[in-house]
């Protein structure tokens, strides 16, 4: 059997191939560890795109929209962890086997055609972001593949078959109403709680089968993530152009592509310490600061879910959030340092897990 912590495995595909009658407590624990890894995998690429946006456009429409998505994804990671701990599992985040490696696939074999990379905001990165979030049946034109939403649907059905597994144990909570209706991380103590949490994760990312609108918005008429990324990619708002049946097209008001720092794609294993792209000592120091802070954030978060006392869990979660915000300054500083290859591109964060 494939290890549940083997990031580059096809474990999600394997789990979905198992018949419904075998989807028991162990199945849920494995599936939800994969969900935790999946939610974590989206954050570094989205953060790189957000942080690369030039200061002159930080309050612009595209930057604000991507910022809201990042906060949604942080909430989704919290909810995925709570889904795992409520069935007696322990999220594993501070482990090199569980942490995403870029460039590379999404964990578990989801959307195997994708290679997820770290770079600044561009048409290529926006296309990647939208492909990550793409629903099986989008209401605006796109390709279709087995989606993250389909995986969560299977998880929900397993919970509905085994509601007795929901214990409400080791739950992290954080109220974030200023980031939108669905962004509070609440305790999951009942099937209704679980259904609501999975609904938020799915519908904020993909929308619903009937509408591209986000049912849990931070702003009025906010769209689901897939459609927001496609709007910025196309440079036009998504609007309804026909009814009965509804038809949606990227034909609305213009959305200017924000100017961004030209962060190059991070190579496999990072920028390294030797070779043609090796950074100078000062740049290496910035990159290492991001890696250390990111790794410490994961350690605090993992420990928070293991804490027996709610006060201890809250303290550790606060420390994890503090580390999250501490990532931005060294990451953006690295994005202002040019690569030595004359390409005009710059360095950017590697998001490598370190043991120290």
Sheet strands (E) in the chain: 236-242, 247-254
CA distance linking residue 177 with residue 16, whole number of Å: 34
Contact 6, 101 (CB under 8 A): no
185: helix, strand or coil: strand
Q: Is 41 helix (H, G, I), strand (E, B) or coil?
A: helix
Provide the mean pLDDT of the chain.
Answer: 90
The contacts of residue 315 (CB under 8 Å, 6+ apart) are none
A 10 A CB-CB count for 321 gives: 16
Q: How far apart are CA 255 and CA 170, in angstroms?
A: 43
Phi and psi of 29, rounded to 5°?
-65, -45
For the record, the structure tokens of 238 come out as 């998504």
Question: Among 15-19, 127-131, 216-220, where is mean pLDDT lowest?
Answer: 216-220
In whole angstroms, give the CA distance from residue 211 to residue 206: 9
Reading the block at residue 307, the tokens are 């804490």
Threshold 0.85, pTM exceeds: yes
The average pLDDT across 315-320 equals 97
Cis peptide before 103 (omega within 30 of 0): yes
Whether domain 11-263 has CATH 1.20.1260.10? yes
Is it the case that residue 144 has pLDDT exceeding 80?
A: no
Q: CB–CB of 272/278 below 8 Å?
A: yes
3-state secondary structure of 201: helix
pLDDT in tens, 33-81: 999 999 999 999 999 999 999 999 998 999 999 999 999 999 999 999 9
Task: Give the pLDDT of residue 280.
Answer: 96
Contact 274, 81 (CB under 8 A): no
């Amino acid at each position: 059997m494939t290890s549940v912590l083997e990031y580059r495995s096809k474990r999600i595909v394997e789990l979905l191939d198992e018949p419904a009658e075998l989807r028991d407590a162990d199945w849920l624990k494995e599936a939800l560890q994969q969900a935790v890894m999946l939610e974590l995998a989206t954050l570094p690429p989205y953060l790189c795109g957000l942080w690369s946006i030039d200061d002159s456009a930080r309050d612009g429409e595209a930057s604000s929209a991507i910022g809201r998505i990042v906060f949604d994804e942080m909430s989704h990671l919290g909810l995925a962890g709570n889904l795992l701990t409520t069935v007696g599992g322990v999220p594993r985040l501070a482990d090199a086997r569980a942490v995403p490696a870029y460039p590379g696939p999404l964990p578990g074999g989801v959307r195997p055609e994708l290679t997820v990379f770290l770079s600044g905001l561009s048409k290529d990165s926006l296309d990647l972001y939208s492909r990550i979030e793409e629903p099986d049946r989008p209401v605006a034109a796109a390709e279709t593949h087995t989606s993250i939403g389909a995986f969560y649907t299977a998880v929900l059905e397993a919970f509905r078959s085994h509601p007795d597994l929901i214990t409400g144990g080791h739950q992290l909570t954080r109220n974030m109403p200023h980031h939108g209706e669905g962004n509070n991380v609440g305790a999951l103590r009942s099937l209704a709680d679980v259904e609501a949490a999975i609904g938020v994760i799915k519908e904020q990312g993909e929308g619903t089968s009937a509408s591209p609108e986000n049912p849990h918005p931070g702003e009025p008429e906010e769209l689901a993530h897939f459609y927001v990324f496609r709007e910025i990619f196309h440079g036009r708002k998504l609007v309804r152009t026909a009814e009965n049946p509804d038809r949606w097209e990227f034909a609305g008001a213009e959305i200017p592509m924000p100017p961004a720092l030209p962060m190059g794609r991070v190579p496999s294993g990072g920028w390294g310490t030797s070779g043609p792209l090796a950074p100078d000592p000062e740049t290496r120091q910035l990159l290492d600061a991001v890696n250390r802070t990111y790794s410490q954030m994961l350690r605090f978060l993992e420990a928070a879910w293991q804490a027996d006392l709610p006060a201890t869990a809250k303290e550790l979660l606060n420390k994890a959030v503090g580390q999250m915000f501490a990532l931005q300054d060294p990451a953006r500083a690295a994005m202002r340092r040019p690569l030595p290859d004359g390409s005009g591109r710059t360095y950017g964060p590697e998001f490598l897990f370190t043991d120290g």
